[in-house]
């Protein structure tokens, strides 16, 4: 069969297959055009999930009749004035959206330039143009799309039910709204509004946080940490949530590059790396980050949908994100998410009442925790107080010390597990094991970054029996474990001997520690060094070197733990992402008793 040129209408339909995947794709392309046109208000209407009708109206710069006719031609655009694809400063630039949409639907464009006394309208049906003709329209542009995919009915079979398609449109509009808080957005189905965002005012950080709070929820706005960093001309800003504010999926993680919402594996990997010390693998933080990258350092012309990018120096970008996130989390100190207290109040059940849903649902602990629960340890390191049970009549230090300390002054211990302290305006309940686990974790990390982890030799080396594969994995990493303060040697098939342990751990359950480390190594990639998975290893070691639940503490020990928590970064959550304390204000307590 001879080679021939395809008809123009068929070429447009092929292009539409790449650009127009579903109604949300149409909304994305049209809204991006409105943003590029300088709009300050964008209103979207979607009926029947976008299958039969959708419209996008804006108050942007508008188009005259000649521009209207040219806008629906393939590869016609106003966004590459110097034809340089390495300096793209707009969201759109390919000139494919409008002709692609017009090729598979009944498209109507009505527009009026600012300052003009009349508007013009143009109709494109299945690729055939009609107009432009005079019309009535306020300054700006209104685009209506009817009977999407009527010209390619096979594509209709791939559309989901109305609610699903409307949900995709909503998600698309929310992502664009996050990146442009200075613009107002609305979305309706013709009868009700699903989204109504007024334009935010104020400085960039304040306006962004206001917009993020409106979309991601008030909990995020209340527990977000600001991020701002710059390296070699690349600027990073945004907000990240405290580790104790987390979800079971990564759907609340957003990245924007030069105002463009993108999905990037590098980004998700960098977030996992930054939060590795604070969250177990099946919990995910909430965050929104904005990268401003010189146009020549990023390629956005990767895919027609423009949701993927390539960075010239991906290592630099990843390092910038990881470093900035770790710095922001360290600056949070002992702070924990306010949702922890809300969850505690929701779980509280007055006598005769029913329990409310618990908002914070931490994931299951790693393997081996059940074996650790029976171990009791010596007093807190660096404390002289004996580990005796606190006498019933012993009281906390006198005076208004509660006003001087964020975590208050210890007033008692409940069930030999929870410390209760009094603050200036409420109470704090501390999980002593979770809190001390984080403190030990931070000590190990600090020691590794400094002179190294100090070791203590065992008077009688301890033999641990394992299966041969597990013992082999540990012995293969013996040199790396020694850097962490754990010295082991082989002791015949399926066994090893522990000669030294990290001094920071004090008296440690060696059998449980070795078995847990062996289980973790089995799940690691063989090519990864322990330093690459340092957080997991340190978390396991810290858990075995922490005060146990069920151990009585005296007043001096409890207050020493509180003071060290206040001095230690990240102490608001344990090594597995669970909260270490719950703070209840007096107003919260009064609500429990119906006093307000």
- Dump pLDDT digits (tens) for 229-242: 999 999 999 999 98
CA distance 156 to 25: 14
Q: Which two tokens stand for residue 299?
A: 């390629």
CA distance 361 to 283: 10
pLDDT at 436 over 80: yes
pLDDT at 4 over 60: yes
Segment 295-313 mean pLDDT = 74
What is the structure's pLDDT at 391?
41
Residue count of the chain, please give it.
596
CA distance 317 to 408: 41
pTM for this model (two decimals): 0.67
Q: Which two tokens stand for residue 39?
A: 């709009």
pLDDT digits (tens, 9 = 90+) for 342-388: 766 666 555 444 433 333 333 444 444 434 433 433 444 444 443 33
Q: Which two tokens stand for residue 579?
A: 């909260």
CA–centroid distance for 4 within its chain: 50
54 near 142, Cβ under 8 Å? no
Cα dist from 364 to 251, 367, 370, 545, whole Å: 20, 9, 11, 20
What is the structure's pLDDT at 383?
45
What is the structure's pLDDT at 535?
55
Q: Which two tokens stand for residue 585?
A: 């204000």
CA distance 480 to 46: 58
Segment 504-525 mean pLDDT = 76
Band the pLDDT of 194: cuts 50, 70, 90: very high
Band the pLDDT of 193: cuts 50, 70, 90: very high
SS3 484: coil
Percent of the chain at pLDDT > 70 equals 76
Cα dist from 529 to 479, 480, 509, 544, whole Å: 11, 8, 24, 22
**DSSP assigned state of 579:** B
Helix (H) / strand (E) element for 427: namely strand 426-431
403 near 424, Cβ under 8 Å? yes
Greater confidence (278 vs 119) lies with 119
Longest dimension (CA), the chain: 100
Residue at token pair 């590795």: 276
Considering only CA atoms, which of 171, 165, 125 is closest in space to residue 145?
Answer: 125
CA distance 102 to 195: 27
Band the pLDDT of 421: cuts 50, 70, 90: very high
Mean pLDDT computed over every residue of the chain: 80
Bridge partners for 130 per DSSP = 123
Bridge partners for 280 per DSSP = none
Bridge partners for 128 per DSSP = 125
* Sign of the C-alpha dihedral computed for residues 431, 501, 330 and 535 taken in this order: negative
CA distance 452 to 483: 7
CA angle 143, 147, 152 (to 5 degrees): 115
Query: What domains sit in the chain, N to C, each tagged with a CATH number?
Result: 8-197 (3.30.565.10), 204-331 (3.30.230.10), 358-596 (3.30.1370.100)
Greater confidence (316 vs 388) lies with 316
Band the pLDDT of 396: cuts 50, 70, 90: very low
């Amino acid at each position: 069969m001879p080679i021939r040129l395809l008809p123009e209408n068929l070429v447009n339909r092929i292009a539409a297959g790449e650009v127009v995947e579903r109604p949300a794709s149409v909304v994305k392309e049209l809204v991006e055009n409105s943003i590029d046109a300088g709009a300050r208000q964008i209103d979207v209407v979607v009926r029947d999930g976008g299958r039969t009708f959708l419209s996008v109206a804006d108050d942007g710069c508008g188009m005259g009749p000649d521009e209207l006719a040219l806008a629906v031609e393939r590869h016609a655009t106003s966004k590459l004035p110097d034809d340089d694809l390495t300096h793209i400063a707009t969201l759109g630039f390919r000139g494919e959206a409008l002709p692609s949409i017009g090729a598979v639907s009944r498209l109507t464009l009505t527009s009026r330039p600012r300052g003009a006394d009349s508007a013009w309208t143009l109709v494109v049906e299945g690729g055939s143009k009609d107009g432009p003709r005079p019309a009535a329209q306020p300054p700006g542009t209104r685009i209506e799309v009817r009977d999407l995919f009527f010209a390619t009915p096979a594509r209709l079979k791939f559309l989901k039910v109305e609610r699903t398609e409307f949900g995709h449109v909503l998600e698309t509009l929310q992502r664009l709204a996050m990146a442009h808080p200075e613009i107002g957005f609305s979305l309706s189905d013709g009868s009700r509004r699903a989204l109504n965002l007024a334009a935010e005012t104020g400085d960039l950080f304040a306006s962004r946080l206001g917009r993020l709070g409106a979309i991601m929820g008030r909990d995020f706005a209340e527990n977000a940490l600001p991020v701002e960093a710059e390296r070699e001309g690349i600027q990073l800003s945004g907000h990240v949530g405290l580790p104790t504010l987390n979800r079971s999926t990564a759907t609340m993680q957003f990245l924007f590059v030069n105002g463009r919402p993108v999905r990037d594996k590098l980004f998700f990997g960098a977030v996992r790396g930054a939060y590795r010390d604070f969250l177990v693998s099946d919990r995910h933080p909430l965050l929104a980050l904005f990268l401003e990258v010189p146009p020549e350092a990023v390629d956005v012309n990767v895919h027609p949908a423009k949701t993927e990018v390539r960075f010239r120096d991906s290592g630099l970008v990843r390092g910038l994100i990881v470093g900035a996130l770790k710095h922001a989390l360290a600056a949070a100190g002992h702070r924990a998410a306010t949702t922890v207290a809300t969850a505690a109040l929701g779980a509280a059940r007055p006598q005769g009442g029913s329990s409310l849903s618990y908002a914070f649902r931490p994931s299951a602990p790693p393997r081996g925790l059940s074996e650790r629960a029976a171990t009791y340890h010596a007093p807190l390191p660096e404390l002289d107080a004996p580990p005796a049970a606190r006498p019933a009549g012993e009281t906390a230090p006198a005076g208004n010390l509660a006003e001087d300390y964020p975590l208050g002054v210890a007033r008692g211990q409940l069930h030999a597990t929870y410390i209760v302290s009094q603050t200036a305006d409420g109470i704090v309940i501390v999980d002593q094991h979770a809190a001390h686990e984080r403190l030990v974790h931070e000590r190990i990390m600090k020691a590794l970054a400094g002179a190294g982890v100090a070791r203590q030799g065992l008077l009688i080396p301890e033999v641990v029996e394992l299966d041969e594969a597990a013992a082999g994995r540990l012995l293969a990493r013996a040199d790396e474990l020694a850097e962490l303060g754990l010295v082991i040697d082989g002791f015949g098939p399926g066994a090893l001997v522990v000669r030294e342990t990290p001094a920071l751990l004090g008296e440690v359950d060696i059998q449980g520690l070795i078995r847990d480390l062996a289980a973790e190594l089995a799940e690691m990639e063989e090519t990864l060094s322990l330093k690459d998975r340092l957080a997991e290893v340190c978390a396991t070691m810290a858990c075995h070197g922490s005060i146990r639940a069920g151990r009585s503490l005296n007043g001096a020990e409890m207050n020493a733990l509180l003071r060290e928590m206040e001095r230690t970064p990240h102490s608001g959550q344990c090594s597995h992402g669970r909260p270490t304390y719950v703070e209840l204000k007096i107003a919260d307590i009064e609500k429990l008793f119906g006093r307000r």
